[in-house]
Structure 1
Amino acid sequence: MPVPLLDVNAQNLPLQDELRATFDRVLQSGRFIMGEEMEAFEREVAEMVGVKHALSVSSGTDAILLALMALGIGEGDEVLCPSFTFFATAGCIARTGATPVFVDSCPVCFNIDLEDAAKKRTAKTKAIVPVHLFGQAADMDAVMSFAAEHSLKVIEDGAQAIGAKYKGKSVGSIGDFGAYSFFPSKNLGGFGDGGMLVTNNDSLAEMALMLRNHGMNPKYYHKYVGGNFRCDALQAALLRVKLREYTGYTEKRQANAQYYTEKLLQLEGVVQAQQEDCGCLESQTLKYQADAAKLVLPVAYDHNEHIWNQFTIRVLDGQRDAFREHLTEKGIGCDTYYPVPLHQQECFADIPKHALPVCEQLAQEVISIPIYPELTQGQKDEVISAVQAFLTSKV
């Protein structure tokens, strides 16, 4: 049977009666930008992730941009960020006039390599943006210690990780700001673009609140040049419906990841990344070669609560594209996140290049398979069967 990478209707249609009733409520209210629905959604998210302030915005990208603006990041500044991530992380830095400084990644959790970040820091460095990639927290103790040592601001890019935790703390609640996305493919997927910016800092929240709406306070009085990052009331209201189901969505993703791990590790040529190998690509690769490994499964660190926005496999020995073609032929949805690291993107050609061997290798090896909560048992087994068929064909 075909298995899509993501099926948003499998999640949304069971809620259609409540979603339609919500639409009617907003329609009757006549309030379509910000307002009571948005404010209620902000309170509910703030409570869920344990922060004082939550500001709904127009997208996850705008949440990052708004954070940078509120922190005063701009021309002449440098901001450390991973190269192996979605474009918005670095794109927002560049839009402020600052320079993104690209940092290598850990081959196990795929997140930012703090040792490499330390090598890239200069006197111009003003902030660091750790990305909680694929739903697993970055090493925030190391990030916060590094930031404190060098007086850097911290913006957590949690676009793929709302509800994920690091040592019991929700990602996004640890740095100066946390940014989330409600793009339809995210774990808390909306019905168009949407995002949220969170913080525990009162003054930063006040600044971000003004900048969200053209730097205006009171109406028609502009102390700052802000942006139009306002949230639609309808988007907030619909997301409130799904927020009530979010714990269940997360538990199902985690169960799916556990099932994949248990079943796939029974196949010859499949190994799992080990936490103790974090940050050591060379020794890890040599070990896998010695084990005749073909596929490397992701791992959830013991101190993290991974929410599995993606289940991302590394395919070794230059076989990733062949693996993708095989899955596609079998009707199994898959995608490569991300095939071109940001430091190799054409728009950043003028930024000085540094060696980033891990992220460049990851870009050649990674592929993500279906992990969404509504996968049936038959669909999961279909994915596993397709993986097994590929491995058998390579023996």
Structure 2
Amino acid sequence: MSISFFTGAATIRAAWPRLEQRLRTVAESGRFTFGPQGQELERAIAERTGAKHAVAVGNGTDALIILLRAAGIGPGDEVIVPAYTFFATASAVLHVGAEPVLVDVLPGSYAMDPAAAEAAITGRTKAIMPVHLFSQMADMRTLRDLADEHGLLLLEDSAEGIDMVQGGVHAGLWGKGGVLSFFPTKTLGSLGDAGMVLTDDDELATTARRLRSHGQQVDGSYEYLELGYNSRLDEIQSAVLLTRLETLSAEIERRAEIAARYDAGLAALAPAVTVPWFAPTAEPGDPVYYVYLIESDRRDELVAHLTEHGVGTEVYYPRALTEQPALAELPGAQHPVPVAIAASRRAVGLPMYPDLTDEQVDQVCELIQRFHKETP
């Protein structure tokens, strides 16, 4: 038995006739960087999310950097971010010359703790940037009120947030703007790197479009107003994403079925194993399962057991950002983050993707059950 942590092979095989047609169009067009497919993708994502503007870029990290730059974040500014997230959340802040201030998260949702964020506000704070992790959004009402109260920008690292909705508002659109990542493992994944900036702000969108193309005027006049980036989404990834959008709703439903099967198969192991649970702010739009994350006091032993039996896992995240060498000495990394550190020691993601069969999910559950019976 071998169960990959992630594979999209069956999904791509099923989509291949439709995808091949789009790829043939790209090949015959001779236009391989951002063009008709990318423009169609921007329109499709804007329609699906309700965003006024969707700006396609090369990857999710570039989307974060461009969002921050376009929002006016720069040297001397502080941006409050959660300490339990992927490194790019903080590194993007550093790339624009600002300083990330790392604060603790809430148990269960793993999202920014609003009380910790408020305690970290200083005279240099310019923005709050929560992250929507794994399957649900941060408490955006509270965080928006906090930002408004202190006159701060609200930005969102909504890289994992496709189709996540709270209060009728899609992830990334509660404040000045947000982002999407289409990394292959994401809920909507490409066959390489791809990203998107989401915003309802006309000026931010214009700046983002300029920054993705070296700072060039959006009319293509070869007039450069500022230093930008080479981050134009290619037509092949756009074609892949447009094809996969056609089945995204069905794939999200399948992810929910898999999660329910995990819930049932692991319920009897509580409290040794903690399955995902949802914050009081969760709404019918939650969850959208990108990752099925469990916690265990014996996480590393459990991972070794699953690996031995051919089951892939992913540790999200083995270090809180305050423990990362590139960040640990920053002034903004000195706040206590006990929940983030505890999660980094206990949490692990199980296989979660539409290609999984019910039998494979049951096999994973049985292996976890056996581990706790045989090694109490």
Aligned residues: 369
**Counterpart-to-counterpart distance in 2, 1:294 and 1:349:** 31
Q: Quote the residue 2:272 is aligned against.
A: 294
Q: Quote the residue 1:349 is aligned against.
A: 328
Identical aligned pairs, as a percentage?
Answer: 37
Supply the AA of the counterpart residue of 1:99: E
Supply the AA of the counterpart residue of 2:321: L
The reply on whether 1:263 has 2:271 as its aligned counterpart is no
Following TM superposition, by how much is the alpha carbon of 1:263 offset from its aligned partner in structure 2, in angstroms?
2.5
Following TM superposition, by how much is the alpha carbon of 1:145 offset from its aligned partner in structure 2, in angstroms?
0.6
Give per-residue Cα distances to partners, 1:175-219, cap 9 Å, x unaligned.
211100011011111011000001011111112121121221142
| Contact 2:184–2:191 under 8 Å retained in 1 | yes
Give per-residue Cα distances to partners, 1:227-267, cap 9 Å, x unaligned.
112111221122100011100110000111112112221x2
Q: Quote the residue 2:73 is aligned against.
A: 73
Give per-residue Cα distances to partners, 1:291-322, cap 9 Å, x unaligned.
xx211111134424211111100102xx1111
Give per-residue Cα distances to partners, 1:26-47, cap 9 Å, x unaligned.
0101111111111111111101
Alignment of 1:1-395 (within 5 A): 1-217=1-217, 218=219, 219-265=221-267, 267=268, 269-270=269-270, 293-301=271-279, 302-303=282-283, 304-316=285-297, 319-352=298-331, 353-395=334-376
**Counterpart-to-counterpart distance in 2, 1:99 and 1:10:** 43
Gaps of 5+ in 1: 271-292
| Contact 2:73–2:98 under 8 Å retained in 1 | yes
| Contact 1:64–1:155 under 8 Å retained in 2 | no
**Counterpart-to-counterpart distance in 2, 1:222 and 1:89:** 28
Following TM superposition, by how much is the alpha carbon of 1:164 offset from its aligned partner in structure 2, in angstroms?
1.2
**Counterpart-to-counterpart distance in 1, 2:68 and 2:148:** 18
Gaps of 5+ in 2: none
Moved more, 186-195 or 346-355: 346-355
Supply the AA of the counterpart residue of 1:140: M
Give per-residue Cα distances to partners, 1:27-78, cap 9 Å, x unaligned.
1011111111111111111010111100100000011000000011111110
**Counterpart-to-counterpart distance in 2, 1:305 and 1:169:** 12
Following TM superposition, by how much is the alpha carbon of 1:383 offset from its aligned partner in structure 2, in angstroms?
0.8
| Contact 2:56–2:196 under 8 Å retained in 1 | yes
Please provide the CA RMSD for this pair. Answer: 1.2
**Counterpart-to-counterpart distance in 1, 2:10 and 2:129:** 33
Following TM superposition, by how much is the alpha carbon of 1:168 offset from its aligned partner in structure 2, in angstroms?
2.9
**Counterpart-to-counterpart distance in 2, 1:50 and 1:191:** 25
Displaced runs of 4+ in structure 1, greater than 2 A?
Answer: none
- SS of residue paired to 2:105: coil
Following TM superposition, by how much is the alpha carbon of 1:166 offset from its aligned partner in structure 2, in angstroms?
1.4
TM-score, normalised on structure 2? Answer: 0.95
Following TM superposition, by how much is the alpha carbon of 1:330 offset from its aligned partner in structure 2, in angstroms?
1.8
